[in-house]
């Protein structure tokens, strides 16, 4: 129906309603015909009719989409009717010197009932009779607040959704047994498993967008006891801005279950270090390196150097950044190996970077146990080359991406990263460059991490292989790891080791169970197999050694370790003579050197 036809139809309908209301009100109180009062009634009817249409246009009653009507539209009707009745009362007083209060009172009530009923009856007809028959999944909504109420309203009236809300769960005792849009609040978080079984729930929607990670983890623990699919409602800000619809749910991610909030950045200090500067990222094609490049790009450097050994990975991050930021700053892809000292010095000489983020490294623990020489060449010699080039060409800040495996290392990879830390700490004593290291826990979703492996095993039908039921690790996300690198560069004064407050360590087997459930399976379907601890692995990791602990935060959720004195002569001897060592002897030498307790003297950071 066109707009003109729709408005004409509503004007005609309202005219009939207005006249019906006033005449019904009159004859209810005056059942016998009286010519004098009837003349007043006719005048009142004309006044009421004219004023009603006037105020109906003022409050846009003819422009409302009544199939979506709610309290706001009802208030518009009340205002328009009330003002039109008052206008009729004024006309009555002017013409007759008297006001038929009771008649107008009854007319007011009938007017609202008939006008409102005519509008809302269309909505009811549309919702309950024109709606196509669709088989819907029964959904349990977690959170009976404003977001949950908005979600239920949308699900009830939407033709497109395949979800039927049948109950709420909310931990507020005042809401228990209340109904919102006809949907009952049945219980609390602890009742989720029971309610899912009792109500035949197929989907669980977490509709509390402001939940902390710990709260999500607590709720998900209850949801995981069921076979229902669990999803999360999008943020209210994204709904309001139009980025997503109310019913565009996202899956619960492993990152949601870490049990802590992500680190926030000090945007001002980072901007001072990066905006308008030349930034070099080594290992720019890797998981961490590429994300550092993405985060750096947001601060609009003058030049971003993408250095890496793998041609394809550098090509991919180069193309991605050019598509997003190609007009904002210069992007230069550089194919180079950090072990090639001459090439690294050439790059530093030509481009003179202000900040270097050194993310290039061999990181796979079992693989490096079989290839210790390569671990030393890449992680130690490569770091030394890049760090010394930074010193020679006046780089202001050098940030080494290290690992929690560098603490009391039991494997070649961790040992080489610990020695890399020693190298930059020694250089920091004599150089004008500020050298710092950042220690990570395990990075979720990075290449070679457990998440991609577990997902592949689940897709293949299982079982998921876990080394040991008691093995624990600290976990962080790729963006979080990259932010920590940038924040460390902004906080750097030289010689520090920065560590993220990563909350409590997570059992690998619990991570595997969560991932199986998130993938839509149960543990019995996929299975978990314990394969035993691999060469070089620990049962648990540490972020700082006992002689490095410095409890004070230097930034929210970021700690700084104490620097240590060490026998650098032995470190130099290893580096200078690494080619002459037998591979297995080299591995033992690296481990012994990195763990040599008597040569480590604690010294507080100034």
Report the pLDDT value the prediction gives residue 477, as an integer from 0 to 100.
74
Q: What b/e readout covers 433-454, taking b as 16+ CB neighbours within 10 angstroms? A: bbbbbbbbbbbbbbeebbbeeb
Of the ranges 191-195, 335-339, 505-509, the best mean pLDDT one: 335-339
What b/e sequence results for 12-47 when a residue is b if at least 16 CB atoms lie within 10 Å of its CB, and e otherwise?
eebeebbeebbbebbeeeeeeeeeebeebbebbbeb
The pLDDT, as a whole number, for residue 108 is 82
Measured on CA atoms in the order 180, 185, 188, 194, is the torsion positive or negative? negative
The domain spans of the chain are 3-128, 137-252, 276-443+475-504+541-603
DSSP notation for 95-152: HHSS--HHHHHHHHHHHHHHHHHHHHHHHHHHHHTSSPP---EEEEEE--SHHHHHHH
* Span 376-431, pLDDT tens digits: 889 989 999 999 999 999 999 999 998 878 777 778 888 888 889 888 988 998 99
Q: Say if CB 560 and CB 497 are below 8 A apart.
A: yes
pLDDT at 304: 96
Q: Which fold has domain 137-252?
A: Rossmann fold (3.40.50)
Q: pLDDT: is 57 or 242 the higher one?
A: 57
Are 505 and 471 spatial neighbours (Cβ–Cβ below 8 Å)?
no
The answer to whether residue 513 is catalytic is: no
- Say which of 273, 277, 384, 405 is annotated catalytic: 405
Helix (H) or strand (E) holding 68: none
Q: What is the mean pLDDT of the chain?
A: 77
Total residue count of the chain as it appears in this document: 606
Number of Cβ within 10 Å of residue 381's Cβ equals 19
Asked if residue 506 has pLDDT above 50, the reply is yes
Q: What is the pLDDT of residue 242?
A: 47
pLDDT of residue 433: 94
Distances 585 to 361, 369, 377, 398, 592 between C-alpha atoms, Å: 21, 12, 15, 31, 11
Predicted TM-score (pTM) above 0.75: no
- Tokens representing 85 are 């009745």
What confidence category does residue 235 fall into, taking pLDDT thresholds of 50, 70 and 90? low
Q: State residue 15's pLDDT score.
A: 80
Q: What percent of the chain has pLDDT over 70?
A: 73
**pLDDT at 497 exceeding the cut of 70:** yes
Position of tokens 């309202």? 14
Which one-letter DSSP state was computed for residue 248? -
- pLDDT value at residue 66: 56
Q: What is the pLDDT of residue 598?
A: 31
What confidence score (pLDDT) does residue 606 get? 25
User: What sections of 35-100 are H helices per DSSP?
Assistant: 35-58, 71-96
Parallel, antiparallel, or unpaired for β 553-555 and 355-358? Answer: unpaired
As assigned by CATH, the class of the 276-443+475-504+541-603 domain is: alpha beta
The domains spanning 137-252 and 276-443+475-504+541-603 adopt the same CATH topology: yes
- Between strands 397-403 and 434-440, the pairing is parallel
Give dist(CA 558, CA 245) in Å, integer.
36
Mean pLDDT of 516-544: 71
Q: Do 353 and 395 contact (CB within 8 A), yes or no?
A: yes
Structure tokens at 46: 């004309």
Euclidean distance between CA atoms 531 and 17, whole angstroms: 79
pLDDT digits (tens, 9 = 90+) for 151-184: 888 787 766 677 888 899 998 888 888 888 888 8
Average pLDDT for 129-134 = 58
Cα 521 from Cα 517, distance rounded (Å)? 5
β strands within 512-570, DSSP E: 528-530, 553-555, 558-561, 563-565
């Amino acid at each position: 129906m066109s707009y003109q036809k729709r408005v004409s139809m509503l004007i005609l309908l309202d005219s009939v309603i207005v006249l019906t209301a006033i005449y019904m009100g009159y004859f209810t109180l005056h059942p016998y015909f009286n010519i004098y009062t009837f003349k007043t009634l006719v005048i009142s009817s004309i006044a009421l009719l004219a004023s009603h249409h006037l105020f109906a246009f003022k409050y846009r009653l003819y422009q409302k989409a009544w199939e979506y009507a709610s309290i706001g539209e009802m208030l518009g009707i009340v205002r328009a009717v009330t003002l039109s009745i008052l206008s009729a009362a004024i006309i009555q007083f002017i013409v007759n010197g008297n006001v038929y209060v009771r008649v107008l009172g009854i007319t007011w009530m009938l007017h609202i009932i008939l006008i409102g009923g005519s509008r809302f009856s269309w909505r009811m007809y549309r919702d309950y009779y024109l709606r196509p028959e669709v088989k819907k999944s029964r959904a349990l909504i977690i959170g009976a607040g404003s977001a949950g109420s908005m979600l239920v309203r949308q699900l009830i009236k939407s033709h497109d959704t395949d979800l039927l809300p049948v109950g709420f769960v909310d931990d507020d005792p005042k809401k228990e047994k209340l109904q919102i849009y006809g949907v009952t609040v049945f219980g609390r978080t602890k009742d989720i498993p029971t309610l899912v079984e009792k109500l035949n729930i197929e989907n669980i929607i977490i509709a509390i967008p402001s939940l902390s990670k710990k709260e999500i983890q607590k709720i998900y623990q209850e949801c995981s006891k069921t076979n229902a699919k669990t999803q999360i409602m999008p943020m209210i800000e994204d709904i309001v801005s139009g980025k997503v619809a109310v019913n565009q749910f996202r899956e619960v991610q492993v990152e949601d279950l870490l049990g802590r909030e992500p680190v926030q950045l000090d945007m001002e200090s980072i901007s001072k270090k990066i905006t308008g500067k030349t930034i070099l990222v080594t290992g720019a094609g890797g998981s961490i390196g590429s994300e550092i490049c993405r985060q750096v790009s947001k601060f609009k450097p003058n030049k971003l150097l993408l250095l890496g050994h793998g041609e394809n990975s550098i090509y991919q991050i180069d193309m991605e950044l050019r598509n997003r930021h190609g007009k904002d700053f210069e992007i230069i892809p550089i194919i180079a190996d950090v072990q090639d000292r001459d090439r690294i010095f050439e790059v530093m000489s030509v481009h003179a970077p202000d900040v270097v983020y050194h993310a290039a490294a061999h990181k796979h623990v079992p693989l490096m146990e079989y290839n210790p020489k390569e671990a030393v060449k890449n992680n130690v010699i490569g770091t030394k080359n890049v760090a010394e080039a930074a010193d020679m060409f006046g780089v202001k800040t050098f940030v080494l991406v290290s690992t929690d495996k560098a603490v009391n290392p039991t494997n070649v990879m961790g040992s080489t990263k610990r020695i890399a830390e020693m190298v930059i700490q020694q250089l920091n004593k004599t150089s004008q460059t500020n050298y710092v290291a950042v220690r990570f826990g395990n990075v979720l979703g990075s290449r070679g991490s457990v998440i991609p492996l577990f997902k592949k095993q689940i897709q293949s039908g299982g079982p998921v292989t876990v080394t040991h039921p008691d093995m624990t690790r600290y976990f962080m996300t790729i963006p979080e790891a990259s932010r920590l690198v940038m924040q460390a560069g902004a906080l750097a004064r030289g010689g520090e080791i920065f560590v993220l407050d990563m909350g409590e360590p997570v059992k690998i087997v619990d991570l595997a169970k969560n991932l199986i459930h998130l993938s839509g399976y149960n543990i019995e379907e996929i299975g978990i197999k314990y394969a035993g601890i691999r060469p070089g692995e620990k049962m648990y990791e540490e972020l700082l050694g006992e002689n490095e602990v410095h409890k004070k935060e230097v930034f929210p959720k970021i700690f700084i370790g104490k620097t240590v004195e060490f026998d650098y002569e032995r470190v130099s001897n290893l580096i200078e003579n690494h080619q002459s060592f037998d591979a297995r002897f080299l591995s033992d030498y690296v481990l012994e050197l990195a763990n040599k307790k008597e040569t480590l003297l604690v010294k507080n950071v100034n």
